[in-house]
Amino acid sequence: MTHDFFSFSFLFLIPVVAIVGGITMGIIRTLGQQRMAELARRERIAAIERGMDPDKLPPAPSPEAYEEYGYGNGRLRRAHGLMIGGAILVAVGIGMGVVLLSVEPEKRHYLIGLVPVLVGGALLFSSRVIWPQKP
């Protein structure tokens, strides 16, 4: 196998990993929200079985009410997610550039690392834009 084949294969591996990772992350988040709602419903049923008045209990949660049950500000969570994703992409881009520069220093393959660095920078910028401001 030549270095050209390795570089070419590596280019297609990045989007595949990103797509699979994004889909997996969405599935895990949905399952976590469903689990939290199920546990809250079980807790409500247990309180009713112990004789508590159902009118005095808080309303039964839904997966959409995930943020109301102690998971903080949705905007802050989104900003944190963008910041973490941006930092990871910047690090991956720098790492790719360094690795590709060390493999073939006479060619400009290391510029491929600019793509994740720029996307990561955009994510960091967008996390700063949506960061909740103090009143």
Tokens representing 73?
């500000």
For the chain, the average pLDDT equals 81
Tokens representing 84?
């973490």
CA distance 88 to 129: 18
Look at 16-20, 50-54, 116-120, 130-134 and tell me which has the smallest mean pLDDT: 130-134
Of 119 and 60, the structure prediction assigns the larger pLDDT to 119
Q: In this structure, what is the dihedral angle of CA atoms 86, 92, 94, 96, given to the nearest 10 degrees?
A: -150
Tokens representing 31?
């399952």
CA distance 6 to 101: 14
Domain ranges of the chain: 15-71, 73-135
Whether 87 shows a pLDDT value over 50: the answer reads yes
Residue 71's closest CA among 104, 92, 46, 40?
40
Total-model pTM: 0.50
Phi and psi at residue 50, to the nearest 5°: -80, 0
37-50 pLDDT, tens digit per residue, is 888 888 888 888 98
